[in-house]
Amino acid sequence: MAALNVRFLDRFFDLHVMEVMQIAVESSLKRVPVKSEEGLVLAKERLERAYAWLERHLAGRSWAAGEDFTLADCAPSLFYADWTHQISDAFPLLRAYRTRLLTRPSFARAVEEARPYRPLFPLGAPDRD
């Protein structure tokens, strides 16, 4: 049962966070027939729903699937989604989860190694991470 939860969460992050964030990126790059402003609005609306679901889901958990760091926590989707539509104070559990991800050595190393490529992020990369 735990493996199903991990797989579900991995898919959730891919489909409801990363793919949604990609709408804003693709419209910014003019790769889809949506104006960049419209793509960003759509992404923000959908990310808000995903953030709200994750906020409820993370109650009582340290990591996405429970107390152990799993595959569900490895994707960088939340990292980039926060750049697209910053996680607000309305979601303290989700913000704390993202902070835990950034302090995990393997995750922090991946973020640091990608730092030279930040100027390539079409929506702009904040200096806060």
Asked whether residue 125 is domain-assigned, the answer is no
Question: Is pLDDT above 80 for 82?
Answer: yes
Asked whether residue 114 is domain-assigned, the answer is yes
Give how many domains the chain has, as a whole number.
1
Percentage of the chain beyond pLDDT 90 is: 82
Asked whether residue 44 is domain-assigned, the answer is yes
Rounded Cα distance between 49 and 32, Å, is 22
Write the burial class of residue 50 (CB in 10 Å: 0-12 exposed, 13-18 middle, 19+ buried). Answer: buried
Look at residue 75 in the predicted model and tell me its pLDDT.
85
Asked whether residue 129 is domain-assigned, the answer is no
Asked whether residue 126 is domain-assigned, the answer is no
Look at residue 3 in the predicted model and tell me its pLDDT.
76
Domain assignment of residue 95, given as a range:
2-120
pLDDT tens per residue, range 21-72:
999 999 999 888 878 888 899 999 999 999 999 999 999 999 999 999 999 9
CATH number at residue 68: 1.20.1050.10
Look at residue 42 in the predicted model and tell me its pLDDT.
93
Average pLDDT over residues 72-84: 92
Average pLDDT over residues 4-9: 90
Asked whether residue 127 is domain-assigned, the answer is no
Hey, what are 102's tokens?
Answer: 């950034």
Rounded Cα distance between 111 and 121, Å, is 13
Asked whether residue 8 is domain-assigned, the answer is yes
